[in-house]
């Protein structure tokens, strides 16, 4: 892997990745601040970011915990949100390398951004370098942002004052909006899921409405076969 990061393309790949890193760092600050300001110890978002490393899943799990939901509901929601990375891993399996250590570390770095950035490159060698450059950079910036946000969380007070409480909904909207625009089956599934979640919210514990929304997927299959 060391030789990959010495190629002449690294400079241009770092430049191309930098804006994504900046955005990730800002969202990481939001996550750390929200978690600590909501009452969690500083070490919780920091360790979660190092070990789990899945932005939307982390926001979901912490949001459910802060809303009074149980750890099982939080973990289940996070796992379901992150199942998409299984398909991503298959898409970049040949990019990670053949060594066991490279594959283990590479699997941990698989995200929407690193996969999209790698697959956008023109040849296999550049794709591999792009994956590691973007993946390692994103991991470092995200965790640095989370640590800064967690340390500042108690001093920030109400995160709603700064708009940081809107970070999680904004991240989810950004993830799903392209699919909603281009795929009618996804739109039908999302509308049904949203309706189900809103209907059960007054009657079930936090985190359960998100799981109930998955029932909207029944319309996705019907839309594909119609």
pLDDT in tens, 18-65: 888 888 888 888 889 888 888 889 998 999 999 888 877 888 788 888
Q: Taking residues 62-69, what's their average pLDDT? A: 80
More confident residue, 226 or 71: 71
Q: 140: part of which helix (H) or strand (E)?
A: helix 124-156
Q: Is 85 helix (H, G, I), strand (E, B) or coil?
A: helix
Q: How far is 6 from 175, CA to CA, in rounded Å?
A: 32
Which of 126, 131, 133 lies closest to 112, judged by CA? 131
| pLDDT of the residue at 137 | 93
Q: 202: part of which helix (H) or strand (E)?
A: none
Position 89 pLDDT exceeds 50? yes
Question: Quick check: pTM over 0.75?
Answer: no
Least confident among 85-89, 99-103, 127-131: 85-89
Average pLDDT score, the chain = 78
Q: Taking residues 15-19, what's their average pLDDT? A: 82
Phi, psi for 203 (deg, rounded to 5):
-115, -10
The string of DSSP letters for 147-170 reads HHHHHHHHHH--GGGGTGGGHHHH
| pLDDT of the residue at 49 | 92
Q: How far is 166 from 169, CA to CA, in rounded Å?
A: 6
Q: How far is 138 from 65, CA to CA, in rounded Å?
A: 26
Q: How far is 195 from 209, CA to CA, in rounded Å?
A: 10
Write out pLDDT tens, residues 159-216: 566 665 565 566 556 656 766 777 787 788 888 888 888 898 888 765 667 677 777 7
């Amino acid at each position: 892997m060391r030789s990959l990061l010495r190629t002449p393309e690294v400079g241009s790949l770092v430049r191309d990745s930098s804006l994504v890193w900046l955005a990730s760092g800002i969202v990481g600050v939001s996550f750390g601040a929200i978690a600590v300001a909501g009452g969690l110890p500083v070490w919780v978002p920091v360790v979660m970011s190092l070990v789990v490393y899945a932005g939307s899943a982390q926001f979901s799990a912490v949001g459910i915990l802060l809303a009074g939901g149980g750890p099982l509901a939080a973990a289940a929601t996070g796992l379901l949100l992150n199942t998409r990375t299984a398909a991503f891993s298959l898409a970049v399996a040949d990019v990670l390398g053949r060594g066991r250590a490279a594959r283990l570390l590479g699997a941990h770095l698989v995200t929407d951004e690193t996969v999209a950035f790698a697959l956008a490159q023109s040849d296999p060698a550049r794709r591999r370098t792009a994956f590691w450059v973007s993946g390692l950079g994103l991991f470092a910036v995200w965790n640095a942002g989370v640590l800064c946000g967690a340390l500042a969380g108690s001093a920030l007070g109400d995160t709603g004052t700064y708009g940081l409480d809107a970070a999680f909904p904004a991240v989810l909207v950004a993830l799903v909006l392209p699919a909603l625009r281009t795929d009618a089956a996804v739109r039908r599934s999302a509308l049904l899921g949203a309706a189900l979640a809103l209907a059960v919210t007054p009657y079930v514990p936090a985190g359960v409405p998100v799981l109930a929304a998955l029932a909207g997927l029944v319309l996705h299959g019907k839309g594909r076969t119609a």
